[in-house]
Structure 1
Amino acid sequence: MDVEVLGRVLSTLPEHDEHPYRSGPWRPQTVERAAADLEVVGEIPADLDGVYLRNTENPVHPAQATYHPFDGDGMVHVVGFRDGKVFYRNRFVRTDGFLAEQRSGKSLWAGIAENPDSALRADGWGARGRMKDAASTDVVVHAGVALATFYQCGEPYRIDPLTLDTLGKSPWTPSGGVSAHPKVDPVTGELLFFNYGKEEPYLHYGVVDANDKLVHCTDIALPGPRLPHDMAFTENYAILNDCPLFWEPELLAKGAHVARFHPELPLRLGVLPRRGSGDQIRWFEAESTFVLHFVNAYEDGDEIVVEGFFQSDPEGKAARWPGDPAYARLFRMLSLDGMGTRLHRWRLDLTTGRTREERLSDDITEFGVVDQTRAGRPNRYAYASTGEPGWFLFDGIVRHDLRTGAQQRYRYGAGVFGSETAFAAGSGDGHLVTMTTDVAADRSECLVFDAARVEDGPVARIRLPERVSSGTHATWAPGESLPGWRDADDPAAAVGLSGR
């Protein structure tokens, strides 16, 4: 393995950290590396051509009072595959907040579990205000550039998808920023996005074209501040949501941001022409729940079909926690089993205005993905993660057949935890790529699966140069979509290595 250290960042975290989400599989990294000639067990598929990008919440300073795992600084990892060879690189996203805290040597903004007024600086980002924009939640590739985004709305940071150099903020960013989970249409090349906040009309939706130009942005009126985390789209429509889990209005008026579920209110799914104005949105009511992530949506005659994860307990009261009761209260809305997340389908009838819905699986899964060439179009398979009971950790993969209900499962093994799986198109049914952290062995690997035979386990295991902190969202970008992908003879040159 050929490894080069590219940089180190200042960290003031305790050497022996006992915080449950800054230790074990969540132990953060401070070193940036590039590596080639990685050790491979098995065989890399010859047609696997492109990059797996994964974002990670990776803190470098203690919180002012109470750390939440969504507060960590964004660190993006890339594993690239070309001509049967593989390379790796990781880098922090150089957000304005990250650089300011590096200069100060401490946390300057309040985290999600802290009062925004406790921030040491009066400025900041986020739907709550006075938060750090960590760009640590999601990553997508649009117009040849990776975009790292923050779940509570911030400025999308542009990143070179090969070197991971931070290229600055997207110039089209609207006031209020952009939430995590913007969507890229593989056919038109458009990026669809939304943001939300505490000021009327509470929600905004926009479109950026294939040339990275903002071509549409409109207000979406909601009954009050909401906490949407995701969206979906079809060939002709954007699908937004008004979920009945939101900041309690009476407490919000006193400055307290406490999210509560209101089961007496329905889930509302909004259907809007992709370049329609806010007054064109049509709301469809469904059984009360919170949807953290959608899988896909498509048009079927006069119906819009939306697939995602229904939560039986959005407040996570059933979550199990083995230690401090204070942590149990703080982290109850993190574990998949605590929230009861199950694959679900909603059918929105554009003629009658009615909603039909059905559960697609009784198993607890979340963080579902599809073949991105089918995004916004009908597709048969979804690939989702299973969760470690009581924890925000992924312990395996499930392949859901959306037509027959059949499932294939693979579990990583005791003490081994993965990140979101990404689908890579290729021969047959394509490939799945993910990244795992083995706590006992103190190592990380990138795993490649045959998407049609998940239960058989990985066809290739790539040893990474350092144990990687557990993370969440990831994406796959085919090589043909990446500028400069074939400029060098050896793919190691893409990460600054000589390829020796």
Structure 2
Amino acid sequence: MDVEIVGRMLSTLPADDDHPYRTGPWRPQHTEWRADDLEVIGELPADLDGVYLRNTENPVHPAIERYHPFDGDAMIHMVGFRDGKAFYRNRFVRTDGLLAENEAGGPLWAGIAERAGQSTRDGWGARGRMKDSSSTDIVVHNGIALSSFYQCGDLYRLDPLTLETLGKSPWTPSCGVSAHTKVDEHTGELLFFNYSTEAPYLHYGVVDAADSLVHYVDVPLPGPRLPHDMAYTENYAILNDCPMFWDADLMAKGVHVPRFHRDLPLRLGVIPRRGGSDDVLWFEAEPTYVLHWVNAYEEGDEIVLDGFFQHDPMPADNGQPGSVLDQRSTLQAGLRGIFRFLALDRLQTRLHRWRLNLATGQCKEEQLTESITEFGMINPGAGGRPYRYTYAATGKPGWFLFDGLVKHDLVSGTEERISFGEGVYGSETAVAPRVGSTSEDDGYLVTLTTDMVNDRSECLVFAAQRLSDGPIARIRLPERVSSGTHSTWAPGSSLPGWRA
């Protein structure tokens, strides 16, 4: 292994830090590495060619008062695969907020669990006066990696091979861009939305394959909302108005606390991909909050939409056995709500299907499995098209940690699963189609793990058709990485200079 330290970030976190989301599996890193010819246990297939990218909330400075795990600064991890070998890079995204706090030597902006009025400067975010940490998602569009912030911010551009920050997307609207943009491999377009506390509250846009903003329209809503994700088909984009949003009375006092409105339906908005505000067709469904959609496609007059239905979007804080509350005696009482809204078993997230009939305006829905999973990934070539498989994470009870992986077969209804092992936690698992692949699951699954037992991290590679056989290769990383979530796969053929 050829390893070099290329940078370090000076942190002001306390040496005796005991915050449950800044210690243990979430212990942040502050060293940037370049590592080539990584040690491989097993054998990397030569037809695995491209890069796996994962975004990470990785705090450099403490919170003003109360840290939320989504406040952390963006660190991108990249594992590249070429000619049966692997290489690794990790870099902080040099956001405006991180650079300003580094210069000030401490926090400047209030986090998600703090009052916006505690910020010492104006900032970003759907509610305003937040730091745009850009630490939520990562995609690759037009050969450039883009990191994003879940409550709307700039899209930061990065070289997908070196992870050098290249600035911000110049077309970003004043309301920013929400966490989950969608790249359609068939058209090269990037679809996005944003939201805010000001009417019309939601916008939808399209960026073409040449990275030009070509479509941007209002999508009026009844009031401020908290959409997190979207879906698309060949001809439509699907937006949402979930009945969990900021409490209006508290908002009037400058406090932004979400509340689940059980008497309101979930509304799903279908808009032609280049449609206008008046073209949105709204469907009503059972009340829930959907954090992540899996995919959507057209079938006759219907749009088939799959995502994760939360059976308890606002779980009661009962301190159930095995929860973080029982295991962290020093946990602040004010943090209780954070953990309720992160553990998959508390939210009861299950794969669900909605059928939206464009002719009748009716919505039919069904639960697809009893298994509790989330963060589903698909073959990127199946985006917006009929598909069969999704690969989703299982969660450690009471914790925001991924302890395994499930392959859902949506045609047969069967499932194949694997556990990462005691004390080992994974990331969102990207699907890497094999070079020359001929079917949807003809490829590989790639994820990063945080191994608390052996104090190390590895990149695991599975054969997508044989998940339960275990990893075909394990790649050792130079440092144990902090637990993280969203990821993407980019084939080498899509990256400028890949062979150079």
Q: In 2, Cα distance between the equivalents of 1:23 and 1:448?
A: 27
Match of residue 241 from structure 2: 242
Q: In 2, Cα distance between the equivalents of 1:70 and 1:414?
A: 25
What SS does structure 2 have at the residue aligned with 1:397? strand
Contact 1:316 1:335 in 2 (8 A): no
Q: 1:327: Cα distance to partner? A: 3.1
In the TM superposition, structure 1's runs of 4+ consecutive aligned residues that sit over 4 Å from their partners are: none
Correspondent of 2:492 among 479, 495, 499: 479
What SS does structure 1 have at the residue aligned with 2:370? coil
Contact 1:21 1:27 in 2 (8 A): yes
What whole-Å deviation, never above 9, does each CA across 1:134-182 have from its counterpart, x for those lacking one? 0100000000000000000000000000000000000000110000110
2:7 paired with 1:30: no
Match of residue 223 from structure 2: 224
2:64 paired with 1:72: no
Match of residue 305 from structure 2: 306
Letter in 1 for 2:137: D
Q: In 1, Cα distance between the equivalents of 2:249 and 2:119?
A: 22
Matches within 5 A, 1:349-364: 349-364=357-372
Match of residue 497 from structure 1: none
Match of residue 457 from structure 1: 470
Match of residue 369 from structure 1: 377
Q: 1:275: Cα distance to partner? A: 0.5
Match of residue 55 from structure 1: 55
Letter in 2 for 1:43: E
Q: In 2, Cα distance between the equivalents of 1:120 and 1:80?
A: 40
Please give the TM-score of this superposition, normalised by the length of structure 2: 0.96
Matches within 5 A, 1:327-338: 327-338=335-346
Aligned residues, how many?
486
2:139 paired with 1:140: yes
Q: In 1, Cα distance between the equivalents of 2:389 and 2:38?
A: 31
Q: In 1, Cα distance between the equivalents of 2:58 and 2:290?
A: 25
Q: In 2, Cα distance between the equivalents of 1:83 and 1:483?
A: 17
In structure 1, runs of 5+ residues without a counterpart are 488-500
Q: 1:419: Cα distance to partner? A: 0.7
Matches within 5 A, 1:177-196: 177-196=176-195
Match of residue 125 from structure 1: 124
- Matched-pair identity in %: 69
2:122 paired with 1:114: no
Contact 1:284 1:353 in 2 (8 A): yes
Contact 1:383 1:400 in 2 (8 A): yes
Q: In 2, Cα distance between the equivalents of 1:344 and 1:329?
A: 25
Q: In 2, Cα distance between the equivalents of 1:45 and 1:23?
A: 35
Letter in 2 for 1:424: A
Q: In 1, Cα distance between the equivalents of 2:464 and 2:312?
A: 31
Match of residue 448 from structure 1: 461
Q: 1:279: Cα distance to partner? A: 1.2
**CA RMSD across the alignment:** 0.9
Q: In 2, Cα distance between the equivalents of 1:317 and 1:455?
A: 35
What whole-Å deviation, never above 9, does each CA across 1:212-251 have from its counterpart, x for those lacking one? 0000000000000000000000000000000000001111
Task: Point out the more displaced range, 197-206 or 448-457.
Answer: 448-457
Please give the TM-score of this superposition, normalised by the length of structure 1: 0.96
Q: 1:330: Cα distance to partner? A: 3.0
What SS does structure 1 have at the residue aligned with 2:393? strand
Q: 1:317: Cα distance to partner? A: 2.3
Contact 1:311 1:342 in 2 (8 A): yes
Q: In 2, Cα distance between the equivalents of 1:317 and 1:188?
A: 44
Match of residue 4 from structure 2: 4
Contact 1:423 1:430 in 2 (8 A): yes
Q: In 1, Cα distance between the equivalents of 2:457 and 2:258?
A: 35
Q: In 2, Cα distance between the equivalents of 1:304 and 1:346?
A: 8
What SS does structure 2 have at the residue aligned with 1:46? coil
Q: In 1, Cα distance between the equivalents of 2:380 and 2:448?
A: 19
Q: In 1, Cα distance between the equivalents of 2:316 and 2:310?
A: 12
Matches within 5 A, 1:248-327: 248-317=247-316, 320-321=323-324, 322=326, 323=328, 324=331, 325-327=333-335
Q: 1:46: Cα distance to partner? A: 1.6
Q: 1:315: Cα distance to partner? A: 1.2
2:41 paired with 1:41: yes
What whole-Å deviation, never above 9, does each CA across 1:427-472 have from its counterpart, x for those lacking one? 4621100000001211000000001111111000000000000001
Q: In 2, Cα distance between the equivalents of 1:78 and 1:42?
A: 20
Matches within 5 A, 1:368-447: 368-426=376-434, 427=437, 429-447=442-460
Q: 1:204: Cα distance to partner? A: 0.3
Q: 1:316: Cα distance to partner? A: 2.8
Q: In 1, Cα distance between the equivalents of 2:32 and 2:471?
A: 27
In structure 2, runs of 5+ residues without a counterpart are none
Letter in 1 for 2:70: F
2:481 paired with 1:468: yes
Q: In 2, Cα distance between the equivalents of 1:409 and 1:45?
A: 22
Contact 1:416 1:437 in 2 (8 A): yes
Q: In 2, Cα distance between the equivalents of 1:326 and 1:218?
A: 39
Contact 1:316 1:334 in 2 (8 A): no
What SS does structure 2 have at the residue aligned with 1:452? helix
2:348 paired with 1:340: yes
Match of residue 82 from structure 1: 82
Q: In 2, Cα distance between the equivalents of 1:212 and 1:159?
A: 14
Contact 1:336 1:387 in 2 (8 A): yes
Q: 1:14: Cα distance to partner? A: 1.4
Q: 1:255: Cα distance to partner? A: 1.1
Q: 1:278: Cα distance to partner? A: 1.2
What SS does structure 1 have at the residue aligned with 2:308? strand
Q: 1:254: Cα distance to partner? A: 1.3
What whole-Å deviation, never above 9, does each CA across 1:238-282 have from its counterpart, x for those lacking one? 000000000011111111111010111000110000010111100
What SS does structure 1 have at the residue aligned with 2:100? helix
What SS does structure 1 have at the residue aligned with 2:381? helix
Contact 1:135 1:149 in 2 (8 A): yes
What whole-Å deviation, never above 9, does each CA across 1:86-125 have from its counterpart, x for those lacking one? 000000000100100111110100000000000111x100
